[in-house]
Structure 1
Amino acid sequence: MSDVIGVAWFKDERTYREALDVFTDPGNMPARYEDWRTLVRKQCELIKSGGNVAIRADIDPQTIVQWCNAHGFKADSQGRTAFANHVALEYQKTGQGIIIE
C-alpha cells in the first residue's frame, strides 16, 4: 500500500510571497517562488518514485497562522509539515484532495 504524503503548496507567486511574510522562518524557504517550484517538483518526483502519492496541502497565508496556533504549532517548518500531514490524513479518510501528478 502506498503512503499519502502531504506537500505544502502555494498556488501562485503572490500567495507564496504573502506566506513568507507570515512565517516565522522565511529564511528556511527559497526566497523566490520559482526556486520553491523547482524544489517541490523534485520532492514530488521522489515521493512518486517511491510508489507513494503526493497530495497538495494548499496554504492560505490568511489562515495558516490561525491553524498553527489552534493546533499548538508556530507558523514555521514544523507547522507547515503538521498542516501537510493533516491534509494527507484527511485525504485518506475522505478521498478528497488534489493529487500532484
Structure 2
Amino acid sequence: MNDVIGVAWFKDEPTYRRALAIFTDPENMPATFADWKALVEKQCELIRGNGDIAIRADIDLETFADWCNAHGHKADSQGRTAFANHIALEYRKTGQGTVIE
C-alpha cells in the first residue's frame, strides 16, 4: 500500500491569515497564502511522484486548536505535523478524507 501523507491545508486566504495570527511560530510559515499554496503544490507533486497519496488535513482554526489542546500540542509546526499525521492515519483506517489531486 502507498504511504498516505497528511498535508496541513488552508481553504482560503482569510483562513490562512487568521491561522498565522494564532500560530506560535508564524515565522516558519510562508508569508502569504499564495506562497503557501505554491509550496504545497510542489510538496504534493513530490508526494505523488513517489507513488504516495497526499491527503488534506484541513486546518479549521477552532477544531485545530481544540485538537492541539486535547493532545498536548502547541499551535506550531509540531502541532501541524501531528494533526496532519492524525488525519492521514484516519484516512488509512476509514478511507474517508480528501485526496489532493
Q: TM-score, normalised by structure 1?
A: 0.97
Matches of 2:92 and 2:80 in 1, distance apart? 19
Deviation at 1:99, TM superposition (A): 0.2
Counterpart position of 1:17:
17
What is the match of residue 47 of structure 2? Answer: 47
1:83 aligns with 2:80: no
Point out where structure 1 has 5 or more consecutive residues left out of the alignment: none
Structure-to-structure mapping, 1:22-101, within 5 angstroms? 22-101=22-101
Residues 32-85 of structure 1: per-residue CA shift (max 9 Å, x gap): 000000000000000000000000000011231221111011100000000000
- One-letter amino acid matched to 2:39: L
Find the aligned partners of 2:56 and 2:88 in 1 and give their Cα distance. Answer: 8
Structure 1 stretches of 4+ with a deviation exceeding 6 A read none
- Alpha-carbon distance between aligned partners in 2 of 1:19 and 1:61, rounded to the nearest angstrom: 7
The alignment of Structure 1 onto Structure 2 pairs a total of residues equal to 101
Q: Distance in 2 between matches of 1:56 and 1:81?
A: 12
The whole-number CA distance in structure 2 between the counterparts of 1:66 and 1:76 is 13
Of all paired residues, the percent bearing the same amino acid is 73
With normalisation by structure 2, the TM-score equals 0.97
State the alpha-carbon separation in 1 of the partners of residues 72 and 12 from structure 2: 27
